[in-house]
Amino acid sequence: MAQLRSLAKRQHYHMASIIRSFSHNNDEVVVIDKETGTETLTSINDDRFTGWKAWSNHIEEILGRDDIERKMQGQVRQVENHGNVSSHIDISRYDLFWKLRHHHSLNPSAPETMLEGIDWGKLPKDIVHWCNQNGKVPINGDGTVDGIFSSSMKIEKELEENWHQYKYAKWDVIHCPSGGFISADCYDSRAIIPISDTTALAAVPKHKATKGTVEVKEDTVAAFNSLALEQCKNFCFKLKNS
């Protein structure tokens, strides 16, 4: 059974509030294409940042917006107001969530067979919608699970399976008063989260972590930006004129 288009809506794989911090009042950022280096002024709601629903409401709102993203937003405010991190776990959890959602937005799951040899007809759309809104996984009449629910189960499983990678990590606050930070669409293998033109979070081993803010100059920002271009999948984004 094909995924239900009626359930589809635009989803950001990275927090819209973080992307928006690289924009002006018109919600546009400069996108740098990885292959060509071309720079384009782009809406934060463009296809580059969003896709048709690739995961369920449980991932988008219950686990994402109301839990992982809410806690990450709290850490962003902590950094902005006090220059430090109060919960390294919340940032680590968000970084992994960002990576997993980015992967599944580019590689949406096909319907997956859960029960073999059954055929009890087509599920009503309102039943599928109810399941989606209430964190349930509907099994179609042919024994399959739609791709958005298959992806959702994978994301939850992979959050648990990959958490060990952050076991010994803490996050440094890297700040450059003159700005200039760019961000990758998602970092391939590095744990870095630029949260604005002037500030980035970088995971380091616990014994090397700095309690306050690490003030850096333009050469360090350039090194971070070079890494972003190297690590990104398809593009980087930045503040206009940065």
Q: How far apart are CA 60 and CA 235, in angstroms?
A: 23
Query: For position 131, what pLDDT does the model report?
Result: 83
Q: What is the pLDDT of residue 222?
A: 98
Q: Give the CA dihedral 113, 119, 124, 127, nearest 10 degrees.
A: -50
How much is the pLDDT for 14?
A: 94
Residue 89 token pair: 């776990």
In the predicted structure, residue 137 carries a pLDDT above the cut 50: yes
Ranking 16-30, 42-56, 117-131, 145-159 by mean pLDDT, the lowest is 117-131
What pLDDT sits at residue 19?
Answer: 95
Q: What is the CA radius of gyration of the chain?
A: 19
Which H or E element spans position 227?
Answer: helix 218-231
User: Model confidence over 191-216: pLDDT tens digits?
Assistant: 999 999 999 999 999 999 998 899 99
CB neighbours (10 Å) of residue 133? Answer: 14
CA 71, 72, 77 angle in degrees (round to 5)?
95
What percentage of the chain has pLDDT greater than the value 90? 68
CA 153 to chain centre: 17
The string of pLDDT tens digits covering residues 74-129 is: 999 999 999 999 999 999 999 999 999 999 999 988 888 888 877 777 778 888 88
Which segment of 10-19, 48-57, 178-187 scores lowest on mean pLDDT? 48-57
Q: Give the whole-angstrom CA distance, residue 137 versus residue 139.
A: 7
- What are 177-194's pLDDT values in tens digits? 999 999 999 999 999 999
Strands 213-215 and 199-205: unpaired
Return d(Cα 215, Cα 97) in angstroms, integer.
28
